[in-house]
Structure 1
Amino acid sequence: MKKFRNLFFYIFIIGGFTALMYWIVLYGTKLEAGRNIVLPVSNNTQWQEFVLSLLHNLKHPLAILLAQIVTIILVSRLFGWVFKKIGQPTVIGEIIAGIALGPSLMGMYFPEFSAALFPAQSLGNLQFLSQIGLILFMFVIGMELDLKVLRNKAHDALVVSHTSIVIPFALGLGLAYYIYQSFAPPNVQFSSFALFIGIAMSITAFPVLARIVQERGIHKTRLGTIVITCAAADDITAWCLLAAVIAIVKAGTFVSALYIILLAGVYVFIMLKVVRPFLKRVGDLHSSRENLSKSVVAIFFLTLLLSSYASEVIGIHALFGAFMAGVIMPENMKFKNIFIEKVEDVALVLLLPLFFVFTGLRTQIGLLNDPYLWKITALIITVAVVGKFAGSALPAKFVGQSWKDSLMIGALMNTRGLMELVVLNIGYDLGVLTPQVFAMMVIMALVTTFMTGPVLDLINKIFKSKEDAIPKEISSNGKYKILISFGNPERGRSLLRLANSFTKKLNGNAAITALHLSPTNELHSFNLEEYEQESFAPVIDESKHLNQKITTLFKASNDIDEDITEVANKGDYDLLLVGLGQSIYEGSLLGKVLGFTTRIISPDRLINTVTGKEKLFELSPFDERTRVILSNSHVPVGILIDKNFEKTDRVFIPVFHASDVYLIKYAQKLIHNAGSQITIIDAAGEVKNNTEIKEAIRAIEQNAPNHITIASDKTIEKEFLQTQDLMLISFDSWKKLIDSRNVWLNSSPTTLIIKS
């Protein structure tokens, strides 16, 4: 009755008010009497009017801006993926994506499409949004700087850092003297031109450097500590220098610039001595996600915007203000993590690629149409590399570093990346750099960033480093070695319990390694140790409870799936255990359409489809990460579907194929180490007809009587499933169960799927 009452109410309200609206409109037309209302007259059909309206909407500034953003994000992701695959920072791919969308490639070969997508009048909107992205990015960079490191370990690092600024700065001034007459704008003073060339030679990209250090696993070493500290000190010094250079360029003379620098000093003093203590107090009171209300977030964003506004008005650029606002943020780790999470994704994924493309639209490589210009470009690259590399490596050696570490510091400090582009764009906006010089300097930024990885590899090769990502205790022979890889720390507990069930009584003849990889872009240099401790805390706690010795491996990764399989393959493990993730594409029609579309546009899936490794229309029973691990791993892989897994007292093994014989050795390990009661379900009659399987079972019964039974039931009752702790099943049998949509899967216990 209630159902019909609601239906009648719905019909009455909707129908009644629709009739009322129609009556009002109908009688409202009578009010038009006496008014000179002219209706538009057109000779076009209704379809033609619709098409014209559509074309008009396509040219609307908002539609153009949205089309630009979609194109930029897609192309940036594609180029970033390509460069990630060849072991380069994704920032290089994003910069090249910007150049590809600019006049150097798309504008040259597809001028009409380029003019339609990036009309000249729309570039103002793009620049504005890209500047907002840069302000947020510089805010994050400021927050990522750990001032405690500078205070505690700054002596040697300051020597290296300041020398690595002074030497390339001086060489940059010399370079400016050589190219000033031929390449400087006619109305720009030598001092302004020289100062900008000098500062461009001195920049180090702190965020790119920090990610390279994390990915190579050297952040815990003395080298990693020194180079991060050097880069942090370099960042602060370089931005202060840049602020002074901007002041001098805008003022025209050094004496006039002193007023700007003096005002900037007052601004910095207020930020450090007045604003910072206030923000620290707010941060201490609101350090948890629950306490961080919108009003509190508004205070910090207002600080960012007011700081950027103040520095722009003073004349030292809004980006310096954003950087300064980040530096004075509370040092509370939890607060920093929460706030960076709120800002970083929008800044890095949505807005920052706009800056790369805007830079690419300005970069006219076609202007370098003479061999002499390319010689000057090569000279600029040489001066930049020699100045920064030698300016960092030699002082590092002087303060007591080994030659290997000194050269690695030089190679890392030579990374310029995004920070260089920021400086170049400021110089271009101020009219100090011509389009030709701008293009040359962008190429220099790309080359110096691109060469960092290969140079580090070369240094390691020359000095024959024997260090490996896999500790010596893991690579010992003669042991049964299990690698458990987890993302969620609590998932690590279950995986360790399972691994322990396979090795409990092996004593010193087993080795379990817990591996946790985190995406590079989610880690920050200031909280690496804390993050590592939090990630392994549940696993270490469980290992103590089980009295099971484990080795932990933590690494920042640019490609988690690939790195998991690389560690497993290089370590020659006997078993890799991972948890099953849940696909975001399942559960709805739209999700399945998106999942299929993703398979089409995913470069990895497309390559595998073309090479015949997989089918385009094949539905995988696993999430993308598990699928990649299964595809690339050379060792047996176990996939755990965790349903509150606690123990392995009762385990059943459904056998559907003769090839499932390899599961018997895992049953044997469970019986020997955990005393498990094993039930083999011979639903297809494979055990009865397979001599090899029967012999393996007989051998187990002789060593451990009454621990293994065979059931030939073709149907599995729900009551039986409820008594079991674990289902052990082969990869092929699992696929068969999924394809047949077996109803008892819903009631199955924790499941371990093993692919031999």
Structure 2
Amino acid sequence: MSKGTKGLAFYLVMIIVFGSLMYFIAVKGESQQMDDLMIFNEDTPTTLTDGFAVFRHIILEHIQSDFGLLLLQIIVILLACRLFGWLFKLIGQPTVIGEILAGIILGPSILGHWFPEINGFLFPEESLANITLLSQFGLILFMYAIGMELDLDEVRKKLKETILISHTSTVVPFFLGMLTAYFVYDKYADPATPFLSFALFIGIAMSITAFPVLARIIQERGLTKTHLGTISLASAANGDITAWCLLAVVISIAQAGSMLSAVYNIFFSGVYMAVMFFVVRPFLRMIGQVYHNKEVIDKGLVAFMFLILLASSYLTEILGLHALFGAFMAGVIMPSNIKFRKIMTEKVEDVSLSLFLPLFFASSGLRTQIGLLNTPGLWGMCLLFILIAIIGKFGGATISARVVGESWKNSLYIGALMNTRGLMELIILTIGLDMGILSPTIFVMLVLMTLVTTFMTTPLISFIKFCFRTHDKFVEQKRLEHLAGIFRILISFGRASNGQVMLDVAHQMFSKGENKLDVTALHLTIGPDVNPLHTDNFEEVSFGPILYGAKKLNMQIETRYEISNNASQDICNIVNQEGYDFLLVGAGITWSDLPDDIAATEYRERQGRYLRRLKAESWFFPGALLKDKTKYFIEGARCPVGVFVNRNFVKATEVIILIDRVDDLFLFDYAQTLLKSTHGQAVVLDRTTAATPGRELIDQKIQAFVSEKNNTKLLSQKDITEDLLDNYNFMLVSYETWNLISENRKEALQTMPSTLILNQK
């Protein structure tokens, strides 16, 4: 008897013996029950129908329990936020707008108005405290992460360039906000709210910039390392630090009731700031030098950092500055070692962004009652707030940027970016509502102002670009004239290891051409929520192998990293708008010979026929992961495209060229340049017949190619076989021919070598 059979026999005996013994114990135990303790009456179910009624009662009881209802609320909130965030991403807007809107839709303005029964079941008044408490804790984690995104050293370096822009775009809207508050206080403010507190809060609400949203817009636009992106980010960071310090003072004054009463709050707040910067920060800087990678950062250190976060939040809460300010400061003073900050944000950010922030959006939405704006006068006041916010922020940033020497185009861009408010604004408004400074009506107006000013950023940037299109075309034309005599290649790759291999392909294919070679390596990260702190690390990992390969080849290459929502579209846009001469991309996993890719392809093929019947294949196989983008690149790019299939490529020394039609003859031009570089051998597989159009020209070109070089020859056979392809390490084929043979000769292609699929434009 084998070991497996013995194990199975023992398992069955064990189950039978111990199962029987447990059943015997249960029966004997029940027989010992006292009659007066037996739970048996006329309500005890005696049929399956009665049992189902009891089961339904238990289910309903658990659904309506506090914990069960909270879990259901979280599920609904997360689904709504993800759905609306995805919809707004499709139209090129920050996902945060959709998430804020999802919170409003779940509140009394939409769901409560049209479906009051559902709203009452999902969000009963007594359950909202739990959501609010969880969302506040999530905001603490979020503000901690935001603080870590701000690099004080970088802010200090750009201080001279950005102080006028950042402070003008803070002071001007702050003043306009206070001026507006002066005229609306009597009619719209709560009579119990002091004017100073009301005016200061309106001012700070007008002057904030959403640094996280702005950073992600700059990433998506590919502006991170440009002068414009650097100035905008530094100005926003500088302005946010100023605005949050002003907010701390405003909250102190609001809670104390007057300037004189707030003196002690402000004094001890200054002591708190001094301790954080001159005592805690130097200590943390030392920790950051020692603990700088995941190997040495243990749970004890992480717990200590969270203790600092909570202690800082607690101190600012009892000082009257609000816990969120303490969380922000705890993030700001974290060790400047970028690796340490990346590790800590990884610990915090995913949970805070994915779970807790949607709860905050829902909590805010449940208190946003758009129905309060029920008269033309109130809507007019709302429009006035929006107009003043735009004039103050957009106008102030634009004029100040122009004063410091920026062009009108860059100044308008900076104004549009600084006008973004987003989540940071919503946080401030929620604080004002919780403190009773902002009435529900004013809160609704300012929430709508937040949505409008955030939503308008992307369209406004596009409009500015449209207005300066003539100037941009002139600049681009001059740049292209400067690049005359240079052959520009864009290599787009996903996996870091593929980058080095594709560089070898590009070097062998084009280094012996007539023009000087200029290579740009492009890597895209998919998704709009990439933290700016992590992009440097992504770049280092992604471009490491290709930079190593370039050094070995003694080549100078440019690396380019961008955030993208649609990789294929963005790659084609870059190629077309920037005038590249050739696009080299990978073929995806379909023809890869790596074990994991083979398994994924086989699974896709097995399941695809069932999913296609349901028209649901795209649900399970997202295009960015499994579907080849070959057709999109071929049709979308205005330059020639090469799609590379990697089969352990090293050097193209044994090349096979497939000729199936007269349009394939352009492959000989590529082959000649390739053979100059590799000094290899090439064979031509002529698959044409006597009936093929252009047969005479095909024969002439083949004979000219074969007779020109000693290391080339024409194969006698006419078709592809597994044995044939196994003799070569590189194949050149046109896109049209590839489409034909990949369908009709798929089995033969299982042994194909590394292949470059080419399309001529």
TM-score, reference length from structure 2: 0.86
Distance 1:554 1:403, change over 3 A: same
What's the CA shift for 1:317? Answer: 1.5
Give RMSD over aligned pairs. 3.8
Q: Mean alpha-carbon deviation: is it higher for 182-191 or for 729-738?
A: 729-738
In the alignment, is residue 726 of structure 1 matched against residue 727 of structure 2?
no
Is the 8 Å Cα contact of residues 671 and 707 (structure 1) preserved in structure 2? no
What is residue 466 of structure 1 aligned with on the other side?
472
Structure 2 residue runs without a partner (length 5+): 590-596
What's the CA shift for 1:180? Answer: 1.2
- Counting aligned pairs with the same residue, the percent is 44
What's the CA shift for 1:138? Answer: 0.9
Look up the equivalent residue of 1:41 and give its one-letter code.
T
What is residue 271 of structure 2 aligned with on the other side?
266
- 2:285 aligns with one of 274, 280, 300: 280
Alignment of 1:471-490 (within 5 A): 472=479, 476=483, 481-490=488-497
What's the CA shift for 1:291? Answer: 1.8
Distance 1:518 1:594, change over 3 A: farther
- 1:516 aligns with one of 517, 523, 527: 523
What's the CA shift for 1:509? Answer: 5.3
What's the CA shift for 1:599? Answer: 10
CA–CA distance in structure 2, aligned partners of residues 633 and 56 of structure 1? 60
What's the CA shift for 1:315? Answer: 2.3
Look up the equivalent residue of 1:10 and give its one-letter code.
Y
Look up the equivalent residue of 1:7 and give its one-letter code.
L
Look up the equivalent residue of 1:358 and give its one-letter code.
S
Distance 1:637 1:621, change over 3 A: farther
Q: Mean alpha-carbon deviation: is it higher for 461-470 or for 333-342?
A: 461-470
Is the 8 Å Cα contact of residues 97 and 356 (structure 1) preserved in structure 2? yes
Q: Mean alpha-carbon deviation: is it higher for 636-645 or for 248-257?
A: 636-645
Is the 8 Å Cα contact of residues 487 and 515 (structure 2) preserved in structure 1? no
CA–CA distance in structure 1, aligned partners of residues 212 and 624 of structure 2? 37
Distance 1:739 1:599, change over 3 A: farther
CA–CA distance in structure 2, aligned partners of residues 41 and 731 of structure 1? 74
What's the CA shift for 1:551? Answer: 4.1
Distance 1:620 1:266, change over 3 A: closer
Distance 1:639 1:28, change over 3 A: farther
- Structure 2 residue matching 1:304: 3-state secondary structure: helix
- 1:542 aligns with one of 545, 549, 554: 549
What is residue 12 of structure 2 aligned with on the other side?
11
- Structure 2 residue matching 1:45: 3-state secondary structure: helix
Is the 8 Å Cα contact of residues 105 and 111 (structure 2) preserved in structure 1? yes
What is residue 592 of structure 2 aligned with on the other side?
none
CA–CA distance in structure 1, aligned partners of residues 609 and 461 of structure 2? 40
- Structure 2 residue matching 1:515: 3-state secondary structure: strand
Q: 1:264-310: per-residue Cα shift (whole Å, max 9, x none)?
A: 22322232233223322222222112222222222222222222233
What's the CA shift for 1:123? Answer: 2.5
What is residue 195 of structure 1 aligned with on the other side?
200
What is residue 652 of structure 2 aligned with on the other side?
648
Distance 1:8 1:754, change over 3 A: farther
What's the CA shift for 1:590? Answer: 13
What's the CA shift for 1:205? Answer: 0.9
Distance 1:585 1:722, change over 3 A: closer
Distance 1:211 1:598, change over 3 A: farther
CA–CA distance in structure 1, aligned partners of residues 246 and 624 of structure 2? 55
What's the CA shift for 1:147? Answer: 0.5
What's the CA shift for 1:151? Answer: 2.2
Distance 1:556 1:371, change over 3 A: same
In the alignment, is residue 41 of structure 1 matched against residue 44 of structure 2?
yes
What's the CA shift for 1:524? Answer: 5.0
- Structure 2 residue matching 1:466: 3-state secondary structure: helix
- 1:671 aligns with one of 647, 655, 675: 675
Is the 8 Å Cα contact of residues 368 and 436 (structure 1) preserved in structure 2? yes
What's the CA shift for 1:503? Answer: 0.6
CA–CA distance in structure 2, aligned partners of residues 339 and 396 of structure 1? 34
Is the 8 Å Cα contact of residues 585 and 594 (structure 1) preserved in structure 2? no
What is residue 327 of structure 2 aligned with on the other side?
322
Look up the equivalent residue of 2:498 and give its one-letter code.
R
What's the CA shift for 1:201? Answer: 0.9
What's the CA shift for 1:511? Answer: 4.1
CA–CA distance in structure 2, aligned partners of residues 265 and 6 of structure 1? 71
What is residue 96 of structure 1 aligned with on the other side?
101
Look up the equivalent residue of 2:281 and give its one-letter code.
R
What's the CA shift for 1:141? Answer: 0.8
Look up the equivalent residue of 1:472 and give its one-letter code.
R
What's the CA shift for 1:91? Answer: 2.0
What is residue 391 of structure 2 aligned with on the other side?
386
In the alignment, is residue 125 of structure 1 matched against residue 130 of structure 2?
yes
Aligned residues: 742
- Structure 1 residue matching 2:479: 3-state secondary structure: coil
Q: Mean alpha-carbon deviation: is it higher for 484-493 or for 636-645?
A: 636-645
What is residue 293 of structure 1 aligned with on the other side?
298
Is the 8 Å Cα contact of residues 291 and 297 (structure 2) preserved in structure 1? yes
Distance 1:61 1:149, change over 3 A: same
CA–CA distance in structure 2, aligned partners of residues 591 and 129 of structure 1? 44
What is residue 499 of structure 2 aligned with on the other side?
492
In the alignment, is residue 569 of structure 1 matched against residue 576 of structure 2?
yes
What is residue 181 of structure 2 aligned with on the other side?
176
Q: 1:61-92: per-residue Cα shift (whole Å, max 9, x none)?
A: 44444444344334333433333343332222
What's the CA shift for 1:51? Answer: 4.2
- Structure 2 residue matching 1:514: 3-state secondary structure: strand
Is the 8 Å Cα contact of residues 214 and 520 (structure 1) preserved in structure 2? no
Look up the equivalent residue of 1:466 and give its one-letter code.
D
Look up the equivalent residue of 2:682 and give its one-letter code.
I
What is residue 338 of structure 2 aligned with on the other side?
333
Q: Mean alpha-carbon deviation: is it higher for 516-525 or for 113-122?
A: 516-525
Distance 1:255 1:626, change over 3 A: farther
CA–CA distance in structure 2, aligned partners of residues 149 and 434 of structure 1? 39
Distance 1:71 1:27, change over 3 A: same
What's the CA shift for 1:386? Answer: 1.6
Look up the equivalent residue of 2:642 and give its one-letter code.
G
CA–CA distance in structure 1, aligned partners of residues 361 and 456 of structure 2? 20
CA–CA distance in structure 1, aligned partners of residues 71 and 401 of structure 2? 48
- Structure 1 residue matching 2:335: 3-state secondary structure: coil
Q: Mean alpha-carbon deviation: is it higher for 572-581 or for 154-163?
A: 572-581
Is the 8 Å Cα contact of residues 399 and 411 (structure 2) preserved in structure 1? yes
Distance 1:202 1:572, change over 3 A: closer
CA–CA distance in structure 1, aligned partners of residues 613 and 242 of structure 2? 44
What's the CA shift for 1:96? Answer: 2.2
Look up the equivalent residue of 1:409 and give its one-letter code.
I
CA–CA distance in structure 1, aligned partners of residues 543 and 149 of structure 2? 23
Alignment of 1:443-462 (within 5 A): 443-462=448-467
Distance 1:226 1:292, change over 3 A: same
What's the CA shift for 1:559? Answer: 3.4
Is the 8 Å Cα contact of residues 162 and 231 (structure 2) preserved in structure 1? yes
Distance 1:133 1:679, change over 3 A: farther
CA–CA distance in structure 2, aligned partners of residues 529 and 664 of structure 1? 41
CA–CA distance in structure 1, aligned partners of residues 435 and 401 of structure 2? 35
What is residue 353 of structure 1 aligned with on the other side?
358
What's the CA shift for 1:417? Answer: 1.1
What's the CA shift for 1:441? Answer: 0.4
What is residue 372 of structure 2 aligned with on the other side?
367
Distance 1:738 1:349, change over 3 A: farther
Distance 1:227 1:621, change over 3 A: closer
Q: 1:376-406: per-residue Cα shift (whole Å, max 9, x none)?
A: 0111112111222233333334444444433
What's the CA shift for 1:724? Answer: 3.3
- Structure 1 residue matching 2:515: 3-state secondary structure: helix
Is the 8 Å Cα contact of residues 676 and 707 (structure 1) preserved in structure 2? no
CA–CA distance in structure 2, aligned partners of residues 300 and 445 of structure 1? 33
CA–CA distance in structure 2, aligned partners of residues 598 and 123 of structure 1? 44
CA–CA distance in structure 2, aligned partners of residues 524 and 483 of structure 1? 26
What is residue 111 of structure 1 aligned with on the other side?
116
Structure 1 residue runs without a partner (length 5+): 607-615
- Structure 1 residue matching 2:583: 3-state secondary structure: strand
What's the CA shift for 1:217? Answer: 3.6
Is the 8 Å Cα contact of residues 485 and 515 (structure 2) preserved in structure 1? no
Is the 8 Å Cα contact of residues 205 and 419 (structure 1) preserved in structure 2? yes
What is residue 3 of structure 2 aligned with on the other side?
2
What's the CA shift for 1:669? Answer: 4.5
What's the CA shift for 1:474? Answer: 9.7
Look up the equivalent residue of 2:523 and give its one-letter code.
H
CA–CA distance in structure 1, aligned partners of residues 83 and 136 of structure 2? 23
Look up the equivalent residue of 1:704 and give its one-letter code.
K
What is residue 24 of structure 1 aligned with on the other side?
25
What's the CA shift for 1:20? Answer: 2.9
What's the CA shift for 1:416? Answer: 0.9
What is residue 428 of structure 1 aligned with on the other side?
433
Q: Mean alpha-carbon deviation: is it higher for 137-146 or for 260-269?
A: 260-269
